[in-house]
Amino acid sequence: MITLGNILPFKRLLVSGVITMVSLCLIPFQLHAQSEGLVKSQPATNNFTPKGLSSDQLAAADALVDAGDTENAIKTYRYIAKNYPKSKEAPTAQFKLAKQLKSKGEFESAFNEYQNLLKKYPETSNFEESVADQINIANSYLKGMKVKFLGIPMVPSMEKAEEMYTSILKVSPYSKHAGIIQFNLGLAMEKQGKAKEAIAEYQKVLNKYPNSPACHSAQYQVAYVYQRLGMTGKSQDLSALKEAQNNYQDFLLQYPNSEKIQQAGENMKAMLTKESADTLRVARFYDFSKDFKAASIYYNDVIRRFPQSAEATASKTRLDELKALYGEDSLRTGQQRPENAERLAERRRLQAQVETTALANYDAPSKKDVMGEESPLPQPEMKANMRDAAPIPLQEPPVLPPQQKTPLAP
């Protein structure tokens, strides 16, 4: 007889068999899916947890480093720094955590952990070593090490170097390495094309850290950046080149034993060549515009300031040509000039007119006949921009014909 008690065990057995068959059928699919990366397996977990007193944990972490187990050593150092921040082992654990991250090549993480150390424990005995390690990390970015994105090195970043140097200076402005940090910050800005900002940072080295070994390099770089601005810029007054010359001169006087002395001298020669060529170019511009007085100013400036240059020779040749064509007096500038024959005759004519026409018994040509029609000198045209400014040529008064000249009074 079939009863309910007999049916239930049979049903359980049947269902269990079906489930087993389905599971066996799915095993090949799961293996295939896992091999294709479609099924993610559960990541392995490390249940390592430091135990004991903070001093015991620090000793255990050191032992792990010696054994080559860097991962668990890092976990232990981090655990101590996080859970026992007021213990005497915390600063050491924080320092060693940063050291291990740096040794693994995790530079940004190491830098941040050094920052935590210097902010939380500024009295640590590892202060200067930590600053030095941070400088080395920032220097790596300054030299072109690429910034990682999602663990993949992407592009070099001068911005990252600038950010790091700035951060180091904030937490260690009085470090023995502060002058070097300040200089490297200027270098990071210079490499980004921030010329004026770089000059300001280099100048801080000289002002704030005058005893730093970076001072001679800072003085040289100030001159060099100004030189680049003057050599590649479009300045009309050549002020950048002048600043470069002044700073190179200071460099030569203050650091005569520097290895950059020879290069500074060569740079100054290059600037003089550039400046003399630019000044000659200005002179020729006015010459082409037939403003010969302005041209003569710049030709003479080349001769005076760069007497041994090829530009000075060219200036002398052109000045001689202009004097031969227009006369030496036509190139003079300023209010006081020697009188030529025409100007002397004109002055005597005017003097005679004043002396004779004022007499009661004067019986001679009228003032109008003597002086001619009076006409005011033209007013100079106003310049809208300083770049348009040029010397205003003097206006010579017209000379009357000889027959209208009044004889000199006896």
For residue 90, give its domain range.
49-103
Which pLDDT value is given to residue 53?
87
pLDDT tens digits, 302-311: 899 888 888 8
Residue 148: count of CB within 10 angstroms of its CB:
13
Q: Among 113-117, 200-204, 326-330, 332-336, which is the least confidently predicted range?
A: 332-336
What is the DSSP pairing of strand 152-156 with strand 146-149?
A: antiparallel
Which pLDDT value is given to residue 308?
83
Q: Is residue 291 part of a domain?
A: no
pLDDT tens digits, 227-251: 988 887 654 456 888 899 999 999 9
Q: Is residue 293 part of a domain?
A: no
Average pLDDT score over the chain: 76
Q: Is residue 276 part of a domain?
A: no
In this predicted structure, the answer to whether residue 391 has a pLDDT above a threshold of 50 is no
Which pLDDT value is given to residue 389?
30
The proportion of the chain whose per-residue pLDDT surpasses 90, expressed as a percent, equals 45
DSSP-derived 3-state class of residue 149:
strand
In this predicted structure, the answer to whether residue 30 has a pLDDT above a threshold of 70 is no
Which pLDDT value is given to residue 352?
54
The proportion of the chain whose per-residue pLDDT surpasses 70, expressed as a percent, equals 65
Q: Is residue 56 part of a domain?
A: yes
Please state the separation of Cα 356 from the chain's center in Å: 73
- Domain count of the chain? 1
Q: Is residue 33 part of a domain?
A: no
In this predicted structure, the answer to whether residue 9 has a pLDDT above a threshold of 60 is no
Q: Is residue 71 part of a domain?
A: yes
Q: Among 187-196, 319-328, 336-345, which is the least confidently predicted range?
A: 336-345
Q: Is residue 36 part of a domain?
A: no
Q: Report residue 326 as tokens.
A: 């227009």
The residue with greater pLDDT, 341 or 261, is 261
Q: Is residue 120 part of a domain?
A: no
Mean pLDDT throughout 103-112?
94
Q: How far is residue 151 from each of residues 53, 105, 146, 296, measured CA to CA in Å?
A: 35, 11, 11, 66
Q: Among 50-59, 111-120, 188-197, which is the least confidently predicted range?
A: 50-59
Which pLDDT value is given to residue 407?
43
pLDDT tens digits, 130-180: 999 999 999 999 988 867 655 565 656 789 999 999 999 999 999 999 999
pLDDT tens digits, 66-104: 999 999 999 999 999 999 999 999 999 999 999 999 999
Q: Hunting for tokens 């200089």 — which residue is that?
A: 183
d(CA 183, CA 206): 10
By the 10 Å C-beta count (0-12 exposed, 13-18 middle, 19+ buried), 18 is classed as exposed
Q: What is the pTM of this model?
A: 0.63
